[in-house]
Structure 1
Amino acid sequence: MAGNSKRRGAMRTPGSKKGAVVGSGGQKSKGLQGKGPTPKAQDRPNHPAYRKANAAAKANAVRQQRRKAADAAPETVAGRNPVVECLRAGIPATALYVALGIDADDRVAEAVQLAASRGISVLEVQRGELDRITGGAMHQGLGLQVPPYEYAEPRDLLRAAKESGRPPLLVALDGVTDPRNLGAVVRSAAAFGAHGVVLPQRRSASMTAVAWRTSAGTAARLPIAVATNLTRQLREWAEAGLMVIGLDADGDVDVDGLDLATGPLVVVVGSEGRGLSRLVRETCDQTVSIPMASNVESLNASVAAGVVLAEVARRRRLDAR
């Protein structure tokens, strides 16, 4: 039979065969097992995509560390008028810096008096040192150190609203990056009875010294929270029974038809340029526009928020009668 020849040279000497001797897949059954699917390019250490993804992850980590460090560092309000405004508004401060040898006018005298009456340290420093502290800003011989803002948790806002005995009214900012707009929205929210303001963790202004000053001190009385994911937070509040409305130039209704005003409500204010993001707009139960003259395209984000919040407050007053 073919393959069974016993002639010399037709058979390999036992034990001299090269390669595998047990089966055709290798020494053991392990050799018959597949290695699985090929890893993605970014998961293969020697692939350029892996190096690129790794570098991007490191850069992102550095940016987050720098942002955390910036958020944790105190800020300094510079300039005579801004410093006096902050002290008048009762903004928390830890130190008032006064440059040696400056010409003391009424604003300098008032700043020193207000700081001393509140127990804030008044420190005289060289002008060059004040330049360094204020980052080279036009300080006019005065600088006010403001501690980092202590944010609340989003759940704290809803809890406080429910405990108030009034229908919850919360304000959410979607991509508002100008701290002056943030401060102005906080001021309007406090003026018209909102229970708190929530900011997204990314692409948003934070409570800097500029925002503090613009809020006229109301940020010390109104809780401000940061949401890791604004869309998810809005959905959680919707599940808790709050209606979500977004300010939009092409809204479903105009502010005159805002019948949801008297119930539990979240008012979402979009960014200065692009307005509401797509996911946030899809999360809203209703979008609201503000009627304007035809030759005006849009309102500043903080002004639009003030108009809508004023209408909400008006309707709630009427409903309470």
Structure 2
Amino acid sequence: MPSPDLITERSDPAVQRIIDVTKHSRAVVKTVLIEDIEPLLQSIRAGVGFIEIYGLDTVTLPDELLDLCAEREIPVRLLAAPVANQVFKTEKKPKVFGLARVPKPSRLKDLSDETGDLILLDGVKIVGNIGAIVRTSFALGASGIVLVDSDLGSIADRRLIRASRGYVFSLPIVLASRDEALRYLQDNGMRPVVFEADGELAVGDLDGMDERLILMFGSERIGPSGDFSTIAASSVSIPMNPAAESLNVSVSAGIALHARARRNLAR
């Protein structure tokens, strides 16, 4: 396989494209920078449209990435160190990254045709937690995630892509207002289940429910809002040492999804 071309001049049009994408003040996000090998591989496999993929000239790109780019006809080039320094300046330079077109946002109605459980996160704002839940949801067969009051403007947030290791594009993730999410819960016919410290059911009881559920989690500090707790068909708790204050929300979601994995993965 021939070696990728090397970008040595600041005047190359790709350099300005990269700089534009890294600006934090962009009002409309149409392209996104995706960095590191695993997120790139997963994003490509998920069908994200890439403009080009780059590596620093000091890095040997793995054959797996080069082969996948060749298969999908994605151009690959190297970036000379002086040019990379001009592009990223004081920001940490990714060794391998790509410019991708932001996929069309998922909508709540897109979730209705799926078969696996849904995750609803109410007021979960820590991007690392959201990213971990995305990875676990994909791995254990959930069919989508609804984010309410997350403070994210787009799922193509670089922090979320990094935290999810690129799996953010592998299942539908919907940014919804509280009213939109409540209407959807009331109209879709799925069983909403809320996780609370004193739930009437234990998490192990979920394994015996052969129906599609919406698993609802709130922030560690206050849990789901009363709006979602009120419409829940059941409340669920996770047995734990009473001396422990709480579980991280991503851990709680992982425990719940593991309890549901036999049903969800079978579908």
TM-score, structure 1 as length reference: 0.61
Bigger RCO of structures 1 and 2 (CA < 8 A, at least 6 apart): 2
Offset of residue 255 of structure 1:
0.9
Give the deviation of 1:144 after TM superposition.
2.5
Q: In structure 1, what is the Cα distance between the partners aligned to 2:69 and 2:265?
A: 38
Paired position in structure 2 for 1:241? 189
Q: Are 2:72 and 1:123 aligned?
A: no
**Cα shift at 1:73:** 4.1
Please, which of 218, 221, 244 is the counterpart of residue 270 of structure 1? 218
Amino acid at match of 1:120: I
The aligned runs of 1:78-97 (5 Å cut-off) are: 78=35, 83-91=36-44, 92=48, 93-97=50-54
Question: What is the identity, as a one-letter code, of the residue corresponding to 2:100?
Answer: V
Q: How many residues align?
A: 240
Which structure carries more strand by proportion? 2
Q: Could you tell me which residue of structure 2 aligns to residue 222 of structure 1?
A: 171
* In the alignment, structure 1 residue 308 sits paired with structure 2 residue 261: no
Q: Highest CA radius of gyration, 1 or 2? A: 1
Structure 1 unaligned spans of 5+: 1-65
Mean Cα deviation higher: 173-182 or 121-130: 121-130
Which residue pairs with 2:33 in the alignment? 76
C-alpha displacement of 1:194: 2.2
**In 2, Cα distance between equivalents of 1:170 and 1:67:** 31
Q: Which runs of 5+ in 2 are unaligned?
A: 1-22
Seen in structure 2, the aligned counterparts of structure 1 residues 221 and 273 have a Cα distance that, compared at 3 Å, is same
Q: Which residue identity is paired with 1:262?
A: D
Shift of 1:308: 0.6
Q: TM-score when scaled to structure 2? A: 0.72
Two-structure CA RMSD over aligned residues (Å)? 3.5
The aligned amino acid for 2:102 is P
| Mapped pair 1:144 → 2:98 | yes
> 1:298 Cα deviation (Å)?
2.0
Distance 2:65 2:264 in 1: 40
Q: CA deviation at 1:157?
A: 0.7
Q: Is the 8 A contact 2:207 2:262 kept in 1?
A: no
Contact 1:130 1:141 in 2 (8 A): no
In structure 1, the residue matched to 2:5 is: none
Equivalent position to 1:282, from 230, 234, 237: 230
Residues 179-215 of structure 1 show CA distances to partners (whole Å, capped at 9, x for unaligned) of: 3322222222223332221223663474223433443
Contact 1:76 1:133 in 2 (8 A): no
Percent of paired sites with the same residue: 29
